[in-house]
Amino acid sequence: MPPESDREPLPFEPRQKSKKKKKAKATPPPTASVREKKSDSRSKRNANSSAIPEVVSQRMIRRMALMCGIPTGLGLSSFFIFYAAVSQGWAEIPPQLVFYATLGLFGLGFFGLSYGVLSTSWEEDRPGGWIGWQEFTLNAARLLQGWRTARQAAKEAKEN
């Protein structure tokens, strides 16, 4: 993962919080109208900065449908394929094989959801690769860094 100073953060990445500054002196609370204006502008800004851009979300949906849909569809159709093979006398298939084959295909579908999201390029102007391994490693590193930052912030908040 490149250093944070080398690139601009993505619009929906969590912001890095700076160290807490000590309060100089207490100020009187603002009036209700000033508070409402500030909270409205803050909530709009947070909603816009944390929203996933439409281009990126469409890319994620396509990749998730491919990576999850194919194994899940094969898992569902495997029941019918095994049933046809056994009922027509083409093969003697033990029930354990049917169980493990469908379990494996459904498991691939489950992991395909996560891989579909993480293997998508999160940058609007860059579509990414066909398999998405470079994007997966970059996005997984971003995800882990975000978890570490959140855990550190929670630990600091607990200490204070």
Whole-number pLDDT of residue 53: 86
Measured distance CA(18)–CA(153) in Å, rounded: 10
Q: Are 86 and 42 in contact (CB under 8 A)?
A: no
| Percent helix, percent strand, percent coil in the chain, to nearest 5 | 65, 0, 35
Q: Where are the domains of the chain?
A: 54-160
pLDDT in tens, 101-118: 999 999 999 999 999 989
Average pLDDT over residues 44-64: 77
Whole-number pLDDT of residue 19: 55
Residues 60-89 as b/e (b if ≥16 CB within 10 A, e otherwise) read beebbeebbeebbebbeebeeebeeeeeee
Is the whole model's pTM more than 0.85, yes or no? Answer: no
Q: Are 31 and 37 in contact (CB under 8 A)?
A: no
